[in-house]
Amino acid sequence: MENQHYQQIFKIVADYLPKGWKELRLYFAFTDNMISHKFYINMGAGYVDCFHLGLNKGTLRSIFFPINEILANERKELPKDKRWTVFTMFVKSSGAFEVNYDYEDINSTFIEYEQAWEEKYIKSTNKRK
């Protein structure tokens, strides 16, 4: 994916980040029949998921739909055997960012995968604080 797409994705979320945020962690997972998405914000005392930031459903849709469009279009351009299933983006308030792709077939392990992702990238980080 091109750097400009990462910037577009961040720009969509940036308007809704609370003052004083330290890091954003964005998760998008695709199966054959479903898409899961969420993001977490670290304010310095651990991560809070987007559904607990006081954003209403309409606002969350206005964040997730355009990001999904960017990611889904990128995935469509890839050959089926090269399509990633999970997109993770980490952005620090300093401007540093990292993107990870996972290519594992998560159709039959969707819930377990998401729980493992949260344990690895959110809960384990919160425990270290």
Query: DSSP states of 28-95 as a string?
Result: EEE-SS-EEEEEEEE-SS-EEEGGGTT--HHHHHHHHHHHHHHHHHHHHHS-GGG--SEEEEEEETTS
pLDDT at position 4 is 85
User: What pLDDT, on the 0 to 100 scale, is given for residue 109?
Assistant: 94
In sequence order, the 6+-apart residues with CB closer than 8 A to the CB of 4 are: none
Task: Determine the structural domain holding residue 67 and report its residue range.
Answer: 3-127
* Residue 86 in this model has a pLDDT that exceeds 80: yes
- Provide the pLDDT confidence category of residue 79 given band limits of 50, 70 and 90: very high
The three-point CA angle 14-64-13 to 5° equals 5
Q: What is the mean pLDDT of residues 64-91?
A: 95
Percentage of the chain beyond pLDDT 90 is: 87
pLDDT band at 3 (very low <50, low <70, confident <90, very high): confident
What pLDDT is recorded for position 127?
A: 60
Q: Structurally, how many domains does the chain consist of?
A: 1
CATH code for the domain in which residue 110 is found: 3.30.500.20
Distance set, CA 39 to CA 17, 79, 97 (Å)? 11, 27, 14
Give the residue, 93 or 2, on which the prediction is more confident. Answer: 93
Backbone phi, psi, residue 79, to 5°: -60, 150
User: Smallest Cα–Cα separation from 99: which of 11, 19, 5?
Assistant: 5
pLDDT at 126: 65
pLDDT tens digits for 16-65?
Answer: 999 999 999 999 999 999 999 999 999 988 999 999 999 999 999 999 99
